[in-house]
């Protein structure tokens, strides 16, 4: 029985980044990426950065689904909120406002996904810690992840590369009380694109 062929994807859509050619691994030894002055002029980025940086103090007011994501009555540990606060700026730097996905359009107009190792390096976290944080946010309904595994042959060895598309949901921005600012920023980004 043959496998159905994938439909041709428009290269500017985020799902096209899952099947894009592999990029060179930069090594992550340079300076970490930060929000630019142009991004900080947008009210959405300023409010989101302030809100996410203060999440350990306001954890009982914001993101209510994250408080008890374990399935029992145990409250989520404070380390999760500290990790989210540490990853706030690297997430916002990589956030594509038009689609809500962590990625960007390259010069040729193809959508590229961000590398989670680079995000973890900029946040000062281990990649496994960041992955656990994303799994917890996914369980709470604050983001959706789509994982694709790609078989790659390098130096005569068969490897499997994993690509993950991370999209933040409307519920995440609503529970951060940034729904209106996010909607305005998303509409402006879509119009500009």
Per-residue pLDDT at 144: 93
Residues 48, 75: Cα–Cα separation, whole Å:
24
Per-residue pLDDT at 178: 92
- Give SS3 for 146: strand
**H or E, element range at 165:** strand 157-168
Per-residue pLDDT at 149: 82
Of 145, 81, 93, which Cα lies nearest the Cα of 119?
93
Domain parsing of the chain, residue ranges:
40-192
**Residue-level pLDDT, tens digit, the chain, 193 residues:** 455 555 556 666 666 666 666 555 555 566 677 888 888 888 899 999 999 999 999 888 888 888 877 666 778 888 999 999 999 999 999 898 888 898 888 888 788 888 888 888 889 899 899 999 999 999 999 999 988 888 878 777 887 777 888 999 999 999 999 999 999 999 998 898 7
């Amino acid at each position: 029985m043959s496998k159905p062929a994938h439909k041709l994807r428009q290269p500017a859509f985020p799902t096209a980044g899952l099947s894009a050619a592999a990029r060179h691994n930069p090594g992550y030894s340079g300076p970490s990426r930060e929000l630019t002055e142009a991004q900080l002029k947008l009210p959405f980025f300023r409010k989101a950065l302030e809100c996410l940086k203060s999440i350990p103090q306001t954890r009982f007011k914001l993101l209510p689904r994250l408080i008890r994501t374990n399935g029992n009555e145990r409250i989520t540990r404070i380390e999760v909120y500290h990790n989210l606060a540490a990853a706030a700026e690297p997430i916002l730097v990589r956030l594509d406002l038009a689609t809500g996905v962590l990625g960007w359009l390259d010069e040729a107009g193809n959508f590229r996904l961000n590398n989670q190792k680079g995000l973890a390096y900029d946040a000062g976290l281990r990649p496994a810690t960041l992955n656990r944080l994303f799994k917890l946010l996914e369980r709470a309904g604050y983001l959706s992840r789509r994982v694709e595994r790609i078989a790659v042959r390098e130096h005569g060895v068969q490897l499997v590369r994993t690509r993950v598309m991370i999209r933040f949901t409307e519920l995440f921005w609503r529970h951060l009380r940034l729904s209106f600012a996010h909607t305005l920023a998303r509409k402006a980004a879509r119009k500009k694109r």
